[in-house]
């Protein structure tokens, strides 16, 4: 097989491929077997029709066409590999010459396909970014103490109109054009949380127990999602949260410490850790922006268009030009980022081992509400393991850049990335990187969530120590990976 490559632009090439008839013979043999299993010929069992009979009855041209369809993906892949190409997106194939059914001859075809561009990477040590100072104030400590008190607060019924921050038990009825379409009773809700229906907070404010009001709002889910409905809400009970006194007794209740001062010192330490994690995330994002600014990354327009179309089609918004412009801009940056980090990973010879892949899957599964084993099985069955490996590899590549970049704080002091990410290690960049990414949720979870269902006098939440306020949640990754072209989809 011979192949030549022509560069059409920095992200697109044209392959010209010539395949001798002899190399097509294995596919011809498979084509005869395939056709023999599909046709009925009197005197022959299905699957046992000889090649000469197939040629006589159906013509050898049919066999050649079947053979080409079978062989094209493999020949295309061999040609791409021989020319060191890394295809992106679906290839456009044009068969220019097929073997003569009688005399044979060469198979000739051309392929136009988007490819990863060759990028010139800078010396990562020349990347300089400034991040905020690590500063923990008394207010930060007080806020954490208040959050901890709220977690141990109790709900008490009150005989007054509901206000911001109160917890209410409510009944809801939704109707469209006078017809009831949904209802719910005994729902617990915290006024001000804005987590249920648009306008619900305003409707509930000022209502007392056994009072009812109506308002209009778009429905958030179900078959009528997005439709305007008339909502009738009835307050069954109003409760307020009573907080425990911040004293030594509370410190002993909420933590392993004996005194309030010891508890506050621990809260200050945890606040400092959270600040450092936040700054680690800030450093990562700023280093990535600096890298994108320093490198010219040409983007395959066809790949962007395909991704945007898939996105809008899934949302049912193909005709929304304004949204299309937003998605196009986001997709273009996402593709630039992926191409750049892939180039860094290649340059730095970044690899992903099985332990890192498993760690990533275990940490990602909760985002989808799935057991890690079930999530891993789903990823495998969907054929997404290569995409996941690529995502982990890019994260590690960015961690390499982050380690080499020059960081300073707002006061002009040099910052060691290891101080922002204590577990950072050359052999454990992925684990360290995930610590950085947990910064966004290092603060305590909203205390109202766990108190919503509490009864009067019941504990609003529970916890063993102050550190339990620092649970972290893994944020989204860099974004979905555009799937590389699938050569098996090539057909005549």
Read off the pLDDT of each residue in 313-338 and give the average, rounded to a whole number.
93
Question: What is the rounded average pLDDT of the residues 286-307?
Answer: 93
Q: Are residues 394 and 300 in the same domain?
A: yes
Examine the fold and report which residue of 242, 276, 295 is the final residue of a domain before the chain moves on.
Answer: 242
Other CB atoms within 10 A of residue 102 CB: 8
How far, rounded to the nearest angstrom, does the alpha carbon of residue 292 sit from its chain's CA centroid?
A: 20
353 three-state secondary structure = coil
> pLDDT-based confidence at 428, cuts 50/70/90?
very low
Does 161 share its domain with 62? no
77 pLDDT band, cuts 50/70/90, is very high
Whether residue 47 is contained in a domain is answered as yes
In this prediction, residue 222 has a pLDDT band, given cuts at 50, 70 and 90, of: confident
Are residues 176 and 217 located together in one domain of the fold? Answer: yes
pLDDT, tens digit, 9 for 90 and up, residues 441-451: 333 333 333 33
Instruction: Kindly state whether residues 214 and 320 are assigned to the same domain.
Output: no
Q: Report yes or no on 457 lying in a domain.
A: no
When pLDDT is cut at 50, 70 and 90, the band that residue 467 belongs to is very low
Give the contacts of 11 (CB within 8 A, at least 6 positions apart). Answer: 88, 114, 115, 116, 117, 298, 299, 300
Q: Are residues 262 and 226 in the same domain?
A: no
Residue pLDDT, tens place only, 131-179: 999 899 999 999 999 999 999 999 999 999 999 999 999 999 999 988 9
- Structural domain contains residue 458: no
Residue 430 belongs to some domain of the structure: yes
Could you tell me if residue 260 is inside a domain? yes
Domain assignment of residue 148, yes or no = no
Q: Residue 122: pLDDT above 90?
A: yes
Residues 40 and 173 in one domain: no
193 and 269 within one domain: no
Indicate the pTM of the whole model. Answer: 0.67
Both 213 and 264 in one domain: the answer is: no
Residue 145 maps to a domain: no
The strand pair at 12-19 and 87-97 is best described as unpaired
CA distance linking residue 141 with residue 128, whole number of Å? 32
Q: What is the pLDDT of residue 223?
A: 80
Task: Give the chain's largest Cα–Cα span.
Answer: 97
Quote the pLDDT of residue 302.
87
Q: With a cut of 70, say whether residue 473 has pLDDT above it.
A: no
Q: pLDDT tier at 339 (50, 70, 90 boundaries)?
A: very high
b/e per residue 479-489 (b: at least 16 CB within 10 A): bbbbbbbebee
Mean pLDDT, to the nearest integer, of 29-49? Answer: 90
Report the Cα 418 to chain-centroid distance in Å: 26
| Mean pLDDT of the residues in the chain | 84
Domain holding 271, by residue range, is 124-138+249-448+463-489
| Same-domain status, 422 and 356 | yes
Q: What is the structure's pLDDT at 380?
A: 92
Higher pLDDT, 36 or 421: 36
Judged against a pLDDT cut of 70, whether residue 188 lies above it is answered with yes
State the CATH number of the domain containing residue 402: 1.10.3120.10
Domain's final residue, options 242, 263, 298: 242
**Is residue 182 domain-shared with residue 284, that is, in the same domain?**
no
143 lies in some domain: no
Query: Both 98 and 178 in a single domain?
Result: no
pLDDT at residue 435 greater than cutoff 70: no
Q: Give the CATH number for residue 44.
A: 3.30.70.1050
424 and 282 within one domain:
yes
Give the helix ranges, DSSP H, for 365-462.
Answer: 372-381, 385-404, 417-420, 429-437, 448-451
Over residues 110-122, mean pLDDT: 94
Q: How is 202-268 classified by DSSP, letter by letter?
A: HHHTT--TT-EEEEEEE--SSTTTT-EEEEEEEEEEEEEEEPPPSSHHHHHHHSS-SSHHHHHHHHH
pLDDT of 111 above 80: yes
Query: For residues 420 and 228, what is the distance between their CA atoms, to the nearest angstrom?
Result: 48
Pull the structure tokens for residue 251: 């410190």
Instruction: Give the domain CATH number at 192.
Output: 3.10.50.40
Domain termination residue (choose one: 215, 242, 269): 242
Residue, of 348 and 472, whose pLDDT is higher: 348
**Sign of torsion over alpha carbons 354, 356, 358, 361:** negative
The count of structural domains within the chain is 3
State the burial class of residue 410 (Cβ atoms within 10 Å of its Cβ: 0-12, 13-18, 19+).
exposed
Q: How many CA atoms lie within 13 A of 439 on its CB side?
A: 21
Label residue 421 by pLDDT band (50, 70, 90): low
Strands 414-415 and 154-157: unpaired
* pLDDT one-digit tens code per residue, 248-280: 999 999 999 999 999 999 999 999 999 999 999
Query: CA nearest 442: which of 45, 109, 136?
Result: 136
Higher pLDDT, 329 or 435: 329
Secondary structure of residue 412 in the 3-state scheme = coil
């Amino acid at each position: 097989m011979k192949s030549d490559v022509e560069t059409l632009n920095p992200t697109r090439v044209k392959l010209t491929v010539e395949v001798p008839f002899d190399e097509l013979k294995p596919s011809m043999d498979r084509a005869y077997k395939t056709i023999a299993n599909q046709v009925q010929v009197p005197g022959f069992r299905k699957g046992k029709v000889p090649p000469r009979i197939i040629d006589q009855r159906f013509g050898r041209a049919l066999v050649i066409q079947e053979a080409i369809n079978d062989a094209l993906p493999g020949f295309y892949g061999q040609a791409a590999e021989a020319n060191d190409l890394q295809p992106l997106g679906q290839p456009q194939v044009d068969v220019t010459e097929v073997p003569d059914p009688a005399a044979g001859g060469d198979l000739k075809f051309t392929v136009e396909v988007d490819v990863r561009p060759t990028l010139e990477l800078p010396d990562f040590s020349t990347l300089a970014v400034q991040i905020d100072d690590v500063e923990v104030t008394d207010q930060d400590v007080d806020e954490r103490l208040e959050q901890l008190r709220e977690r141990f607060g109790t709900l008490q019924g009150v005989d007054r109109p509901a206000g911001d921050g109160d917890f209410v038990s409510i009944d809801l009825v939704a109707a469209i054009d006078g017809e009831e379409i949904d209802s719910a009773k005994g729902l617990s809700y915290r006024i001000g949380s804005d987590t249920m229906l648009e306008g619900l907070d305003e409707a509930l404010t000022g209502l007392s127990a056994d009072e009812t009001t109506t308002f209009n709002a778009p429905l958030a889910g179900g078959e009528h999602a997005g439709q305007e409905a008339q909502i009738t809400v009835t307050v069954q009970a109003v409760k307020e949260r009573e907080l425990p006194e911040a004293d030594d007794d509370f410190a002993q209740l909420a933590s392993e410490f004996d005194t309030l001062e010891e508890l506050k010192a621990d809260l200050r330490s945890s606040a400092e850790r959270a600040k450092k994690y936040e700054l680690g995330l800030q450093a990562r994002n700023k280093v990535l922006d600096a890298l994108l600014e320093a490198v010219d990354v040409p983007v395959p327009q066809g790949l962007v268009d395909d991704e945007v179309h898939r996105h809008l089609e899934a949302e049912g918004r193909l005709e929304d030009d304004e949204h299309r412009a937003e998605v196009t801009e986001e997709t273009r940056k996402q593709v630039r980022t992926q191409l750049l980090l892939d180039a860094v990973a290649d340059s730095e010879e970044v690899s992903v081992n099985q332990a890192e892949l498993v760690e990533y899957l275990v940490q990602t599964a909760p985002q989808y509400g799935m057991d890690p084993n079930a999530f891993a099985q789903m990823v495998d069955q969907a054929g997404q393991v290569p995409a996941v490996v690529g995502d982990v590899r890019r994260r590690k590549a960015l961690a390499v850049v982050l380690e080499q970049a020059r960081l300073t704080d707002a006061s002009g002091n040099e910052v060691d990335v290891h101080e922002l990410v204590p577990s950072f290690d050359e052999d454990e960049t992925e684990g360290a990187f995930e610590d950085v990414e947990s910064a966004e949720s290092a603060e305590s979870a909203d205390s109202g969530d766990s108190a919503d269902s509490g009864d009067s006098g019941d504990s609003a939440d529970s916890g063993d120590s102050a550190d339990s306020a620092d649970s972290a949640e893994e944020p989204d990754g860099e974004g979905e990976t555009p799937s590389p072209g699938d050569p098996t989809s090539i057909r005549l």
